Structures are given as structure tokens and as C-alpha cells.
A and B are shown apart, each in its own frame.
Chain A
Amino acid sequence: SYDLTQPPSVSVSPGQTASITCSGEKLGDRYVSWYQQKPGQSPVVVIYQDNKRPSGIPERFSGSNSGISATLTISGTQTVDEADYFCQAWGSTTVGFGGGTKVTVL
């Protein structure tokens, strides 16, 4: 399987910046996507192809991939952004998801 590693939790104050990292083997060779999941809901993609935002996703969400790790950044975090966030990438033959990061806004 393709293993991706994320911190289990991140806390941020409203209006501040939250950053979530994702590390995995040869991450620079593949696209990284990020998903937001709220309790009882399906995941929603917030970043695809490392740094692209789907239509309808606020501009405060951004992504980057340095090759060593990928980062999801939420600028000006709002209380509605409190959720679990998962990174995802395709390995050579499988799909990997990070273990998820719970973002708490307080």
C-alpha cells in the first residue's frame, strides 16, 4: 500500500492560518489531493493536483507539494472549517490516504 502520514490534530484560532502536512514516498512524483470531511458527511475535495481549487471551494484553501511533503493551508480560518482533512495520492499500483488531521478552531 502507499502510506501517507499526517499529524492527527491541528488547533487554530479564528482568523489565523492552519497548515497540515502530508508526507509520503516520492510525493513529488504524483499529484496530491486534499479532502474535507465533516461528521456524518462524505469527503469533499478541496484541493486537487497539488494546488488547484475546485469550483465552489473558498480561496482561503491552498495547497503545495515540495516533493518531500505536501501542505494544505487554510488562511483566515473560519469556524465552518472545523473538520477532518485527509490527503490522498496514487502510488504505483494503489491509492493511499493519510490518516487524517482533525482541525479544531477555537
Chain B
Amino acid sequence: QVYLQESGPGVVTPSETLSLTCTVSRGSISTYYWSWIRQPPGKGLEWIGYIYFNGYTNYNPSLKGRVIMSVDTTENQISLNLNFVTAADTAVYFCARAEVGDAFDVWGQGTSVTVTS
């Protein structure tokens, strides 16, 4: 069964860039669409965007151009950069896999990020 592991700093300073990595193991990154999804404390899920192995991306317009995703097929990793963070970006960040139009069938365990000075 494919396994996803998120990693990154647990604390980010306001106005800086949040950078996270999702490592895909026991499976190929060269199929499926790989998404980032976040969950603020005590709240619901918000889709951030997805990337395909060829680098094609689609982002949530609500994040107003602050998001950049990238893929490294040699390392089997997906990365997320979220610029100009504020306290509203404090959340648990998950990576997950899906086919477009279908369910997110595999999720990482999530990594908590707090934006604070």
C-alpha cells in the first residue's frame, strides 16, 4: 500500500513562506494527482491544489496566487510553497492522492504548521 509522509517546519513567521514536502513510498508518483489539503484547528478541510507528475498544476483560487507546487519524480516527492503566510494559514497540512473526479483514497498523517512571530 502506498504511503505518504509530510515533513516541514512546525512554525513559520508571518509574511514568510511555508514550505512542506510529501514523500511517496511503496508506490510510483507517476500516476494519480497529488493534492495538498489543510485543516485549521477545529475546522473543516480545504483543498489547496494538486500537481500531476508531469508538473501540471491546479490551485484553489481562494489562495490568490500564493501557492506554488512542484514535483521531483526522482525523489518521489511533492512540495508545497505558500507565500506571505498569516495566522489564518495555521493548520494541519495533508498530502493525498486522487484521480481527477474521484476520491482521495490515500492520505498522509498530516503535519501541523503554526504561523506565529
> Footprint of B on A, CB under 8 Å?
1, 30-31, 33, 35, 42-45, 48-49, 54, 86, 88, 90, 93-100
Contact = CB atoms under 8 A, between A and B. Distances in A.
Interface stretch (B11-19, B24-32, B82-90, B98-106): B98-106
Contact of B60 (A86, A90, A94): A94
Contacts of A88: 45, 103-104
A94 B103 contact: no
Interface of B: 35, 37, 44-47, 50, 58, 60-62, 94, 100-105, 107-110
Contacts of A30: 101
Contact of A96 (B47, B61, B101, B102): B47
A51 B102 CA distance: 12
Contacts, number: 59
Contacts of B37: 97
Given A48-B103, A97-B46, A42 B110 contact: yes
A86 B107 contact: no
24 contacts: A1-B60, A1-B62, A33-B104, A42-B107, A43-B45, A43-B104, A43-B107, A45-B103, A48-B102, A48-B103, A86-B45, A88-B103, A88-B104, A90-B100, A90-B102, A93-B58, A95-B35, A95-B47, A95-B50, A95-B60, A97-B37, A97-B45, A99-B44, A100-B44
B49 to A, nearest CB: 9
Contacts of B47: 94-97
B103 A42 contact: no
A33 B105 CA distance: 10
Nearest to A86: B45
Given A42-B110, A97-B44, 15 more contacts: A1-B60, A33-B104, A35-B45, A35-B104, A43-B45, A45-B103, A88-B45, A88-B103, A93-B58, A94-B60, A95-B47, A95-B50, A96-B47, A97-B37, A97-B45
